[in-house]
Structure 1
Amino acid sequence: MPDGTPSPSLLRDADALIAAGLIAPDARDAIAAVEARYAVAITPAMRALIDDPAGPVGRQFVPDPAELVTAPHEMADPIGDDALSPVKGIVHRYPDRALLKPLLVCPVYCRFCFRREHVGPDGGLLTEAELAAAYDWIRARPQIREIILTGGDPLMLSPRRLSSIINTLSAIPHLEILRIHSRVPVADPARLTPALAESLATDKAMWLVLHANHASELTPAARAAIRLVQAQAVPVLGQSVLLRGVNDSEAALEALFRAMLAARVKPYYLHQLDPAPGTARFHVPIAEGRRLLAGLRGRVTGLAWPTYVLDIAGGHGKVPLGPDYLEPDGHVRDPWGVRHRLAPNLAPETASV
């Protein structure tokens, strides 16, 4: 199967969603209007987890007419990818690292995706000439130490093509770290074959960052796919998006992070939702997100605690959102909210925070 070619078993349009019982027949025209603008794909692995289209898994992937309503604060390129792309396929936001997007195909299309205006089944696959130009751009910048392969989803590439990309990047002397961001291990675990896992082999430091938002996504098949990656001595981190109706409770977040740890995946980032068009129904206010994270402190191991981050609109980078425990009057709150006075040498005016 060529890179990015959709599986015939994917649910890709309103008729398939009706046949699968995920939307009502009278919603066909409204959902067809959504699919005309934003890509739709639900894998068999994800379909098996959807017992309610409005539940925590269905809500992530089943299209909704609300997606065609753009709120005033929403934008087509919320994190500034386009403005920070010096050559096709490259995004350069931080001095020491850059993104390489070799394709724009995903196994599933999340209804809250911040790149929803760009990803889709047409592929966006970089040509050999475009890849060569991206490699040349990286080679010419010795300050770049890390390349993050993203897209789309790099694990939608064939083992041969992914191995070629990794080998070429590995031969660039000043690169120290390679990172892959992927939804494949949970969304389409059958795609992650031993051959695809072996294509990650490199003498550089390689990391996989897994995107999962609900504990139920960490199925036995997903855990088996993750183990194939880990068997290549590739550590796996987890990133999630805080989403209304998906994981917006202490119980849901705790279950998610515990499921990640059980799969030997370290929760890394919990993202504040990026304001992409038509995603307002997923929004959780930052103050609520901070309360949720604070509620988990002391309740779960520190290994299960991600950094809660905001990617500042316009491409200004990620910043941590807290919660905070140090107070300006020389006190610090413990995980249960009790205030304690700091030693004088740790007072806020001298403390490193």
Structure 2
Amino acid sequence: MYRMTLSNIPEERFDKLRNEISDYENIKDRIFTGIEDYEKILYQKKKILKYLNATEEDYNNYHWQIKNRFTSAEGISKIIDLSETDLKYINEVASKYRFAVSPYYLSLIDPQNSDCAIKKQAIPAVEELNDLGELDPMDEKGTAIHDIITRRYPDRLIIKITNVCGMFCRFCQRRRHIGETDKVVPRAKIQTAIEYVRENREIRDVLITGGDAFLVSDEMIEWMLKELRAIPHVEIIRFGTRTPVTLPQRITKNLVDILKKYHPIFVNTHFNHPREITPESKIACEMLADAGIPLGNQMVLLNGVNNDKYVVRKLNLKLLTIRVKPYYIFHPKTVKGTSHFWVKIEEGLEIMESLRGRTSGLAIPTYIINGPKGLGKTPIMPNYLLCLGKDKASFRNWQGEYFEVENFGADA
């Protein structure tokens, strides 16, 4: 067998590189994606189909998924084991904060893992009754225009079109909008928002969100896109959606065909854990990518879910294999009822430190702290610049090695 040798580079150099990721290599196979643990997910799916007296055709229909979301502790107890105490607390929390879980997302819960990251995101916990935090820590109300617009930046804004979600995440920053019934914003109110965009020529980027932006009708989505594309200064239209994660059945051929008529369209989705990467979510993301739609992922850093450097690395690497670019890691917001998910900033910085150099830049998102009261997204990262002088700058690299570079401009 032919073996290439590099006589000028000592083998110790490559051994050192291998050792940099040996810890991850040793543990990665114990962090399951939904694809790797799909047999268990299929078993749960069969239980759900039997309980709901449903067919495979039903299950693959997103309208059926929405109509049959689990909204009671008693229903969930038919699929995963819940103690009497669990039932009591879920009902107590549900009387204060609405919850709903799509049959699909419920199937992802590992019934043999009491610490399951999917369960923590989907099922109410007694800690939600804690009153720490605020209902609107980002002061979206204070930066709202015409009720459904949030504007914090010079050239872009958000239009919130619905409160409907495939699953109401227990850490949701907009839980104050969930209410008790599903609502889509009336077309007349959305038209007012579009007119605001039309009248303000500096707006070049519009983000459509909710709730979940894809949980309005195809007709509504096409109407909005047609209206926005008729505005000459609107260059980019983005959708914020968690449907590829919680309701991948929503990504239909008809929806994709609509979206690709109005390029450039961007979609940001919201995977928080490798177990959410399933054959179904893979198909949904690839359908969007095949239509020329760039996909980004906005992970929220959550205690007990993904505040682990190995979990985040596996998530980001596997996202790339389904053509989703890790875009942001959001530090958790101090929303009332979510304090059990909060983490310290040091944990996020440690995760960012563990990624740099140990995987490709494609797998490294930006770590974001949202300034309170609408002060906006602020990126933070480990400090690699140690000193910046007039003629020289000092740095450390990802391995902690020190180096200097000359700091001269063209007019030096």
- TM-score of the aligned structures, taking structure 2 as reference length: 0.79
Give the superposition deviation at 1:285.
0.6
> Mapping of 1:218-257 within 5 angstroms?
218-257=277-316
8 A Cα contact 1:4 1:123, kept in partner? no
Please say which of residues 282-291 and 35-44 is displaced more in the overlay: 35-44
AA matched with 1:303 = L
Which of 360, 364, 372 does residue 301 from structure 1 map onto?
A: 360
Write the distance in 2 (CA, Å) between the matches of 1:292 and 1:233.
31
> Mapping of 1:183-332 within 5 angstroms?
183-328=242-387, 330-332=393-395
Number of the residue aligned with 1:336: 399
Please say which of residues 211-220 and 335-344 is displaced more in the overlay: 335-344
Please say which of residues 161-170 and 22-31 is displaced more in the overlay: 22-31
Note the residue ranges of structure 1 that are not aligned, 5 or more in a row. Answer: none
AA matched with 1:68 = L
- TM-score of the aligned structures, taking structure 1 as reference length: 0.92
Which of 70, 82, 88 does residue 29 from structure 1 map onto?
A: 88
Please say which of residues 179-188 and 33-42 is displaced more in the overlay: 33-42
Which of 190, 204, 211 does residue 152 from structure 1 map onto?
A: 211
Q: Deviations over 1:71-106 (max 9, x none)?
A: 2xx111121211111102111111100101111111
AA matched with 1:341 = E
8 A Cα contact 1:166 1:202, kept in partner? no
Quickly say closer, same or farther: Cα 1:312–1:4, change in 2 above 3 A. farther
Please say which of residues 225-234 and 138-147 is displaced more in the overlay: 225-234
8 A Cα contact 1:147 1:179, kept in partner? yes
8 A Cα contact 1:158 1:196, kept in partner? no
Q: Deviations over 1:93-137 (max 9, x none)?
A: 111001011111111111111111112562341112211211111
Q: Deviations over 1:255-297 (max 9, x none)?
A: 1101110011111000000110111111111112101110111
AA matched with 2:237 = L
Number of the residue aligned with 1:104: 163
Q: Deviations over 1:176-211 (max 9, x none)?
A: 000001100111111211112222134442100011
Write the distance in 2 (CA, Å) between the matches of 1:5 and 1:130.
28
8 A Cα contact 1:4 1:105, kept in partner? no
Matched, 1:139 2:139: no
SS of 1:200 mapped into structure 2: helix
Q: Bigger radius of gyration, 1 or 2?
A: 2
Please say which of residues 3-12 and 309-318 is displaced more in the overlay: 3-12
Number of the residue aligned with 2:241: 182
Please say which of residues 88-97 and 20-29 is displaced more in the overlay: 20-29
Write the distance in 2 (CA, Å) between the matches of 1:262 and 1:102.
31
8 A Cα contact 2:65 2:247, kept in partner? no
Write the distance in 2 (CA, Å) between the matches of 1:201 and 1:158.
16
Write the distance in 2 (CA, Å) between the matches of 1:197 and 1:165.
15
AA matched with 2:287 = L
Number of the residue aligned with 1:58: 119
- Which ranges of 4 or more aligned residues in structure 1 deviate by more than 4 Å? 3-6
Give the superposition deviation at 1:343.
2.4
Give the superposition deviation at 1:23.
2.9
Give the superposition deviation at 1:32.
1.3
Aligned-pair Cα RMSD in Å = 1.8
Write the distance in 2 (CA, Å) between the matches of 1:335 and 1:85.
41
Write the distance in 1 (CA, Å) between the matches of 2:64 and 2:204.
32
AA matched with 2:397 = D
Matched, 1:43 2:102: yes
Write the distance in 2 (CA, Å) between the matches of 1:331 and 1:197.
49
AA matched with 1:340 = F
8 A Cα contact 2:162 2:183, kept in partner? yes
Write the distance in 1 (CA, Å) between the matches of 2:258 and 2:141.
29
Write the distance in 1 (CA, Å) between the matches of 2:120 and 2:262.
40
8 A Cα contact 1:100 1:148, kept in partner? yes
Which of 185, 190, 194 does residue 126 from structure 1 map onto?
A: 185
Give the superposition deviation at 1:212.
0.6
SS of 1:19 mapped into structure 2: coil
Write the distance in 2 (CA, Å) between the matches of 1:4 and 1:191.
8
Write the distance in 2 (CA, Å) between the matches of 1:25 and 1:106.
28
Q: Deviations over 1:230-271 (max 9, x none)?
A: 122111111101111111111101011011100111110000
- Total equivalences in the alignment: 342
Greater helix content: 2
Please say which of residues 114-123 and 81-90 is displaced more in the overlay: 114-123
AA matched with 2:129 = L
Please say which of residues 150-159 and 202-211 is displaced more in the overlay: 202-211
SS of 1:327 mapped into structure 2: strand
Note the residue ranges of structure 2 that are not aligned, 5 or more in a row. Answer: 1-61
Please say which of residues 206-215 and 333-342 is displaced more in the overlay: 333-342
Quickly say closer, same or farther: Cα 1:6–1:70, change in 2 above 3 A. farther
8 A Cα contact 2:65 2:102, kept in partner? no
Identity %: 31
